[in-house]
Amino acid sequence: MDFSYSKTEQLFLQMIRSFAENEVKPLAAEVDEEERFPVETVEKMAKLGLMGIPVPKQYGGAGGTIQMYTMAVEELSRVCATTGVILSAHTSLCVDPILEHGTEEQKMKYLPKLASGEWLGAFGLTEPNAGTDAAMQQTTAVDAGDKWILYGTKIFITNAANADVFIVMAMTDKSLGNKGISAFIVERTFKGFSIGKKEKKMGIRGSATCELIFENCEVPKENVLGKMGEGFKVAMKTLDGGRIGIASQALGIAQGAMDETVKYTKERKQFGKSIAQFQNTQFQMADLKTRVEAARLLVRSAAWKKDMGLPYSADAAMAKLYAAETAMDVTTKAVQFHGGYGYTREYPVERMMRDAKITEIYEGTSEVQRMVIAAQLFK
């Protein structure tokens, strides 16, 4: 058992940290304030190969690991959770399912452009009436001989406004329930496809979360991802991977709030000494630090299992559950340590606290994670 980063991972951390510090952090407050998708940052990430970290070289990727990808999401989220989730949704929810379930033709067609960052990816499962109960899909796909015709609406789609490729779930046979759902690769330019209204959100406000509207959208036959009727399985497996990404995002937010709080409590003086010297600060911060490290180990272990090809579904759920709740706890206390300043936008912990909340909700709420973990436990 080895808990240290490999030399390659250390080099990668050095790069991603300095990238996050110099390119991402200076924009974080602005991206949040203006609810602006940081196009320029994504372009820079693309140039460095960050949009295709775990994609094998033959498909134009960097040939890296899931572990490195999670490190990237963590480090980006440490300074800007919006940027973190852009990478997470692109990689875990679009690139990964094509890699896992795509035909050779689909891989050759989509992965090089996604890995190079020329195209941005997104994933559409959630509907107004099908949230946690994802089996209640109302978007339908009808066989029109040489193509599929999709009709319906998806909501809360991360990256939607800027994405070029979408993995979309639709009912191909309602009578079969879950087994009647299939997955499709939909390009932004397909006829009958459009992006709907943009959500106004509490946090991750730059991530361009929108509706997807399918009005008799024409999808070529060869764009079914995986087998017919296995869309639900594709979605669930994709979300397993996505949860490692969101766990990394939560971990990054928590770490970022820790960094800010350590710095602030050392500088801020009250009653003649820095507030870091008070035992209340020290004990609480020690507890938070312990939680963050525990979350990190869960994330690393889940990513390692995915890299090794081992089952990781419950591991991903535990990592996400724990990291998300840790992020919420750390950021809430970080604001408290900052006092009045923490409640203002002068300090980033205010944003971090708003950003943290979503990690307990999307890609399966914390309640869903508990269901996944319990199902594994009592099977």
Partner 1 sequence: MNIIVCIKQVPDTTTVKIDPVKGTLIREGVPSIMNPDDKGGLELALQFKEKYGATVTVVTMGPPQADTILREAFAMGADRAILLSDRRFAGADTLATSYALAGCIKTLDYDLIIAGRQAIDGDTAQVGPEMAEHLGLPQISYVIGAEKTAKGFLVKKELEDGVQTLEVEGACLLTVLASAYQPRYMTVSGIIEAYNREVEVWSADKIDVEETKLGLKGSPTKVFKSFPKALKPAGETFEVSEEEAVELIISKLKEKHII
Q: State the residues that interact with partner 1 by CB under 8 A.
A: 7-8, 11-12, 14-15, 18-19, 47-50, 52-53, 57, 62-64, 68
By beta-carbon proximity to partner 1, the closer residue of 19 and 37 is: 19
By beta-carbon proximity to partner 1, the closer residue of 12 and 166 is: 12
What's the min distance (Å) between Cβ of 16 and partner 1?
9
Q: How far is CA 202 from the centre of its chain?
A: 16
What's the min distance (Å) between Cβ of 96 and partner 1?
16
Distance, CA of 319 to CA of 303 (rounded, Å): 10
SS3 210: strand
What letter represents residue 339's amino acid? G
List the structure tokens of 137.
């899909």
By beta-carbon proximity to partner 1, the closer residue of 19 and 190 is: 19
SS3 25: helix
User: Which of 59, 93, 53, 96 has its CA nearest to residue 75?
Assistant: 53
By beta-carbon proximity to partner 1, the closer residue of 67 and 139 is: 67
Distance, CA of 36 to CA of 34 (rounded, Å): 5
By beta-carbon proximity to partner 1, the closer residue of 31 and 68 is: 68
Structural Rg of the chain based on CA atoms: 21
User: Which of 373, 299, 301, 287 has its CA nearest to residue 329?
Assistant: 287
**Out of 199, 215, 363, 367, which one is annotated catalytic?**
363
What's the min distance (Å) between Cβ of 23 and partner 1?
8
The string of DSSP codes covering 123-175 is: EE--BTTBSS-GGG---EEEE-SSEEEEEEEEEEETTGGG-SEEEEEEES-GG
What's the min distance (Å) between Cβ of 87 and partner 1?
12
Query: Does the active-site annotation cover 363?
Result: yes
φ, ψ of residue 98 in degrees (nearest 5): -70, -40
What's the min distance (Å) between Cβ of 19 and partner 1?
6
List residues with catalytic annotation. 363
